[in-house]
Amino acid sequence: MTNLMKGARANVVDAIGGTPIIKLNHITKDLDSEIYVKLEYMNPGGSTKDRIGAYMLDQAVKEGTLKPGGTIIEGTSGNTGVGLAMWAAVHGYKCIFVLADKQSKEKIDNLRAFGAKVVVCPTNVAPEDPRSYYSVSKRLSETIPNSFYVNQYDNLHNRMTHYTWTAPEMYEQTQGDFDVFMATVGTGGTISGCGRFFKEKMPNVEIVGIDCEGSIVAHYAKTGEMIEAKTYVLEGVGEDFIPENYDFDNIDEWEMVGDKESFLMTRRLLKEEGVYAGGSAGAAICGAIKYAQKQKTPKKILVLLHDSGNRYASKIYNDDWMSDNGYLDSSFDVQIKDVLTHLNKTGNIKTISDKASIGEAITLMDEAGISQLPCTDESGAIKGLVSEKALLKPVMMGEFNQEDNISLAFNMNYKIVNQNELLSTVADALLQKDVALVMKGDQLVDILTDIDVLQYLSKTRAY
């Protein structure tokens, strides 16, 4: 067989690019400006780094720096690793990746699944420290024969990828119908390559870099002064040195963002826009909103979102991780278990067996002073709920007798929620059901009603 099937790509690398641009409609509702996002997570490896992986390695083969049978080495926060590993799988090369230990577990597992060797190094050491992931990658490439150190930081094919590919693609999609281009910065490849291309095509375009608190890049760009970097949690954004890929002449403005606001915005992107992107996308949108709020006239702002949310399932999209790290603080972004503690609910919940009679249920409710009683089978599984209100009329009318089985009086007007879920889940449930039954694993621990939520909010919220 010689001809490729019509409509098919020759391999996964050929499927990179052509990602859509969409408008944000809800997060932006209070702005005069419009924000459009380029969904780079729709690349096959889940990020814009698929492009630089393929482009840098194609160039390395052309230039003879990557030879057949060679080993590709890179210090990468994960996304570039996937791009390189994908290209290496298609073309038959080996890979070794060196990562800082703050990177998410998904990213590390993902690279190992590609068959790559992964070396994990400490985050909190200076780049020149022999343990840093920059130093380790360099050392490996000097000692492993027939290896090629990609070095996305100083390899200028990184920014050329965006100059020759990502930016022309966006220009063609939009016909240049935007006023501002914004992206978070790491190696500087995206902003510098796109910035140069757009400036050449659109003299009035504004290019805005988004950096994070703790990084040195924006400060250096504005003052020429090198300061000491501080630790931050965002992945892929900011640097503690200035990579060669930066082209500051093509970056007009800077916006700064912090970890917490970025993570909360990442979650809002999914909840309010259905966009499942990574933390740097939340950072980018925070930066874009800050920029938009300062504008005197409405602007069309195009923002590149670098990667997919599924690399952050155990972090940004995990309520426990967000709560444990103090990133959740709005009244509704609190976990149900914390609400129970706040309300001094002891978890000492009364239940009744599904074998019991209606009379026994009424006695128990009376003695315990409760108006809702969950019924369980021998295994503890919830079978239904009996409520004072639902019992009154049928008992009065003689429809139910005291000795009838409790199941006659069941109502299903409850929603089961896990104690690790957020209060917003309970609030949503209570808009449709009478009560929320709170579970710890498969064990029922409490009941939350409208009055509990109202009580919690009145205690914690300043009106």
Ligand X SMILES: Cc1ncc(COP(=O)(O)O)c(C=O)c1O
In this chain, which of 188, 195, 214, 309 binds ligand X, going by CB under 6 A? 188
Give min distance, CB of 411 to ligand X, in A.
48
List the 435-440 sheet strands across, edge first.
414-418, 435-440, 443-449
Contacting residue, 46, 70, 186, 287, with ligand X by CB under 6 A? 186
Restricting to residues 303-342, which ones interact with ligand X according to CB under 6 A? 306-307
From the CB of residue 454, how many other CB atoms can be counted at a distance below 10 Å?
11
Nearest approach in angstroms of CB 280 to ligand X is 3
Binding mask 381-420 for ligand X (x = CB under 6 A): ----------------------------------------
Determine the interface stretch with ligand X among 91-99, 166-174, 179-187, 319-327 (rule: CB under 6 A): 179-187
Q: Which of 266, 280, 357, 372 binds ligand X (CB under 6 A)?
A: 280
Contacts of 119 (CB under 8 A, 6+ apart): 96, 97, 98, 99, 133, 136, 140
Q: Which tokens in the block code for residue 266?
A: 């990442």
- CB-CB contact of 96 with 119 (8 Å): yes
Rule CB under 6 A: choose which of 45, 83, 214, 236 binds ligand X.
Answer: 236
Using the rule CB under 6 A, is 215 a contact of ligand X? no
Beta carbon nearer to ligand X, 179 or 235: 235
What is the nearest approach in angstroms of ligand X to the Cβ of residue 77? Answer: 5
Cβ atoms < 10 Å from Cβ of 237? 27
**104 forms part of the interface with ligand X (CB under 6 A):** no
In the list 46, 83, 189, 214, the residue contacting ligand X (rule: CB under 6 A) is 189
Q: How far is the CB of 410 from ligand X (least distance, A)?
A: 50
Minimum distance from residue 230 beta carbon to ligand X (Å): 18
Q: How far apart are alpha carbons 350 and 209 in whole angstroms?
A: 57
Give the span between the Cα atoms of 33 and 190, in whole angstroms: 23
Piece of 67-75, 178-186, 316-324, 415-423 that binds ligand X (CB under 6 A)? 178-186
Angle at 268 (CA atoms; ends 267, 273), nearest 5 degrees = 115
Can you tell me the distance from the alpha carbon of 53 to that of 44, in angstroms, rounded to the nearest whole number?
Answer: 12
Dihedral, CA of residue 19, residue 22, residue 26 and residue 29, to nearest 10: 130
* Contact flag: residue 287 with ligand X (CB under 6 A): no
Give the nearest residue (CB) to ligand X. 236
Q: Which stretch binds ligand X (CB under 6 A): 115-123, 181-189, 401-409, 439-447?
A: 181-189
80 or 372, CB closer to ligand X?
Answer: 80
Read off the tokens for 421.
Answer: 């879920």
* Helix, strand, coil % over all residues of the chain, rounded to 5: 40, 20, 40
- Tokens 């083969």 found at: 61
CA 306 to chain centre: 11
Instruction: Compute φ and ψ for 246, nearest 5 degrees.
Output: -70, 135
3-state secondary structure 128-197: CCCCCHHHHHHHHHHHCCCEEECCCCCCCHHHHHHHHHHHHHHHHHHCCCCCEEEEECCCCHHHHHHHHH
Q: Which amino acid is it at 241?
A: F
- How far apart CA 68 and CA 61 sit, in angstroms, is 9
Q: 385 - beta bridge partners?
A: 374, 411
Which residues, listed in sequence order, are joined to residue 305 by a DSSP beta bridge?
Answer: 39
How far apart, in Å, do the first and last CA atoms of the chain sit? 71
- Shortest approach of ligand X to residue 191 CB, angstroms? 6
Interacting span for ligand X (CB under 6 A) from 186-194, 344-352, 373-381, 447-455: 186-194
Nearer to ligand X, 79 or 141 (CB): 79
Cβ contacts of residue 457 below 8 Å, gap of 6+? 331
Looking at the annotation, which residues are catalytic?
49
| Residue number, 52 or 180, with CB nearest to ligand X | 52
Distances 125 to 128, 135, 233 between C-alpha atoms, Å: 8, 11, 15
Q: Which of 107/299 has CB closer to ligand X? A: 107
- Select 37 or 447, whichever has its Cβ closest to ligand X: 37
For ligand X, which is the closer residue by CB, 308 or 419?
A: 308
Residue placing its CB nearer to ligand X in the complex, 21 or 343? 21
By CB under 6 A, residue 166 contacts ligand X: no
Q: Which stretch binds ligand X (CB under 6 A): 131-139, 187-195, 358-366, 418-426?
A: 187-195
Using CB under 6 A, which residues numbered 71 to 90 contact ligand X?
Answer: 77, 79
If one asks whether residue 45 binds ligand X (CB under 6 A), the answer comes out as no
Which positions touch ligand X (CB under 6 A)? 49, 77, 79, 184-191, 235-237, 278, 280, 306-307
